[in-house]
Chain A
Amino acid sequence: MKRFICVILCVLIVSALPSALSASAVDDQALVLNPALTAEIDAFNLQLRLAADFEISIITRDFLGGKNVSTYTNQALKSLDSSGNLLLVMVIGEDAYEVALGSNAQKHISHEKVERLLSDTFRVPFLRRDYNEAVASFLVRFEEILQAQTGFSLPQASRLPEFAKQESVRLPKETAKPQVDIDIGLGSVFENFGHNEENAKQYSKDAIDAQENKDNGLSLFQIALIGFILYKIFGKKQNGRRKGCGPLGWIFGTWGLSRFFGWRRR
């Protein structure tokens, strides 16, 4: 029995592992951030959650398809699991970024202060396309501000200051935007790839439904039944003897007429 429970527990732990691993606050759709930096941000968030009960979520995208970055950011924050977070959206192909603060984040820092912080630390490296440096610089400065209020500090082994300052971890420009596979890359080109894909599927289904027109018209069974009823009403004389053709004749007649009048199901 103990073995069985152990096996069940192991299975549960293993199955829960992927979801725990994928619960990163960084959604790097444009593939511009170093995975090591993403890991650092996750460690940073772990501390931040304990100290101030919110996280910093980051979304990188190539384009927004003409949508206003501020509108997109606010909508994205609302759709996050934890909408109390601070959300930073970086639109690489449009050289634009925006920040939105959820309720928990606003308890500790104002929107204006974050904007100022971004202008001081993030803007220049972002426009220079040093995205890792931009994010790391912002987080390091953010930590300094929050430290005074909440006692929050960076994890001891954090490499964020390295990413913010040192040349050794800066990515060469050619790899700042690596060639990406079509299925991965297109997600960050459309404003909402999944929604567009759903629309396309719906359109395809609607067009097929309209073309086939399955629901309309009488089925073969209904036609045969109507033909038989008509035979019963009109196909016999009052003395019960047959008048004209038999039931099959009436059924085939109804079938022919249904074609002529367009009643038959296709």
Chain B
Amino acid sequence: MRGRVFLAFLLMLLLMAAAFGIGAYRAHFNEKIRIDQALESLREVLTARIEMGNNLLTVAGRHLDASDPMIISIRAQIGILSGQASLSEKAAANQQLTIDSKALLDILEHKASVIQDGRDLNYVTGLLPRGFEQSAQWADASAYNTAAKAFNDRLNSSFSGRIAQFWGVEKAEFFSTVEEGL
């Protein structure tokens, strides 16, 4: 009789542990799905950056040689942003695109052929910088990074989070460069 009671108690403990493990896994797995959704949305928003890069290349192509290092650099950043690169590579490309686009717009603004061309001067001093500004505002990765950090903290700081990690829930990746080291 005592053996049966002990077995029943043991079974109850096992079931409780299993329920706890499944609950911890499911909760953190669902959270991770939400993080991945936010990341997917961020990727969608990054297309606006690619579009602006292409627009700038169109205008720059009329006034600079295709072998200009700035044009080559922007083309490379667009390639990374639209390809299958890792998040840190894309973050670095996005950052570099901001720097390069500003530099290229500055070069174009002072170029004689642009100054003589009312339409392109208008693009270089008006629409394109505003477009870049708007796309940067849309693709501000800080909102995603804050969510990813909060998730990682929950995963690391709670007992259930460690159980979830044990069962395969991975930490969220940051949209940041290696130097930023988030």
**Residues of A with Cβ closer than 8 Å to B?**
62-63, 65-66, 92-94, 129, 173-174, 176-177, 179-180, 182, 185-186, 189-191, 196-197, 199-200, 202-204, 206-211, 213, 215-217, 260-263
- The answer to whether A189 touches B128, judged by C-beta atoms less than 8 angstroms apart, is yes
Chain A residues positioned under 8 Å from B104 (CB to CB): none
Mostly helix, strand, loop or mixed at chain B's interface? helix
**CB within 8 Å for A203 and B44 given contacts A177-B118, A261-B159, A261-B160:** yes
A177–B122 Cα distance when bound, in Å, is 8
Chain B residues positioned under 8 Å from A202 (CB to CB): 41, 44
A261–B135 Cα distance when bound, in Å, is 41
Interface positions of B from 34 to 75, Cβ below 8 Å from A: 34-35, 37-38, 40-42, 44-45, 47-48, 50-55, 58-59
Number of interface residues of B (CB under 8 A): 52
- The answer to whether B41 touches A262, judged by C-beta atoms less than 8 angstroms apart, is no
Interface flag for B166 (CB, 8 Å): no
- The answer to whether B54 touches A200, judged by C-beta atoms less than 8 angstroms apart, is no
- The answer to whether A179 touches B41, judged by C-beta atoms less than 8 angstroms apart, is no
- The answer to whether A189 touches B34, judged by C-beta atoms less than 8 angstroms apart, is no
Chain B residues positioned under 8 Å from A261 (CB to CB): 20, 24, 158-160
Interface flag for B144 (CB, 8 Å): yes
- The answer to whether A216 touches B134, judged by C-beta atoms less than 8 angstroms apart, is no
Chain A residues positioned under 8 Å from B118 (CB to CB): 173-174, 176-177
Chain A residues positioned under 8 Å from B137 (CB to CB): 200
- Return the chain B residue nearest A199 by Cβ: B44
A-B pairs, top 4 by smallest CB distance, nearest first, are: A65-B51, A262-B158, A66-B54, A203-B41
A180–B34 Cα distance when bound, in Å, is 39
- The answer to whether B27 touches A216, judged by C-beta atoms less than 8 angstroms apart, is yes
A93–B59 Cα distance when bound, in Å, is 7
- The answer to whether A179 touches B131, judged by C-beta atoms less than 8 angstroms apart, is no
Interface flag for B146 (CB, 8 Å): yes
- The answer to whether B45 touches A190, judged by C-beta atoms less than 8 angstroms apart, is no
- The answer to whether B131 touches A190, judged by C-beta atoms less than 8 angstroms apart, is yes
Q: Contact partner of B50 among A65, A208, A210, A260, CB < 8 A?
A: A65
**CB within 8 Å for A190 and B127 given contacts A211-B150, A213-B34, A213-B150:** no
**CB within 8 Å for A206 and B58 given contacts A93-B123, A190-B131:** no
- List, sorted by A's number, 29 A–B pairs whose CB atoms are closer than 8 Å: A65-B48, A65-B51, A65-B52, A93-B55, A180-B126, A182-B130, A189-B51, A189-B52, A191-B51, A196-B45, A196-B48, A200-B48, A200-B138, A200-B139, A203-B38, A203-B41, A203-B42, A207-B143, A210-B34, A210-B147, A211-B146, A211-B147, A213-B34, A213-B154, A215-B30, A261-B158, A261-B159, A262-B158, A263-B23
- The answer to whether A176 touches B119, judged by C-beta atoms less than 8 angstroms apart, is yes
Chain B residues positioned under 8 Å from A66 (CB to CB): 50-51, 53-55
A94–B118 Cα distance when bound, in Å, is 15
- The answer to whether B127 touches A185, judged by C-beta atoms less than 8 angstroms apart, is yes
Interface positions of B from 71 to 123, Cβ below 8 Å from A: 118-119, 122-123
Interface flag for B174 (CB, 8 Å): no
**CB within 8 Å for A213 and B31 given contacts A189-B131, A207-B144, A262-B154:** yes
A241–B175 Cα distance when bound, in Å, is 59
* Smallest CB separation, B178 vs chain A (Å): 22
- The answer to whether B160 touches A206, judged by C-beta atoms less than 8 angstroms apart, is no
**CB within 8 Å for A186 and B130 given contacts A207-B41, A209-B34, A216-B27:** yes
- The answer to whether A63 touches B58, judged by C-beta atoms less than 8 angstroms apart, is yes
Chain A residues positioned under 8 Å from B27 (CB to CB): 216-217, 262
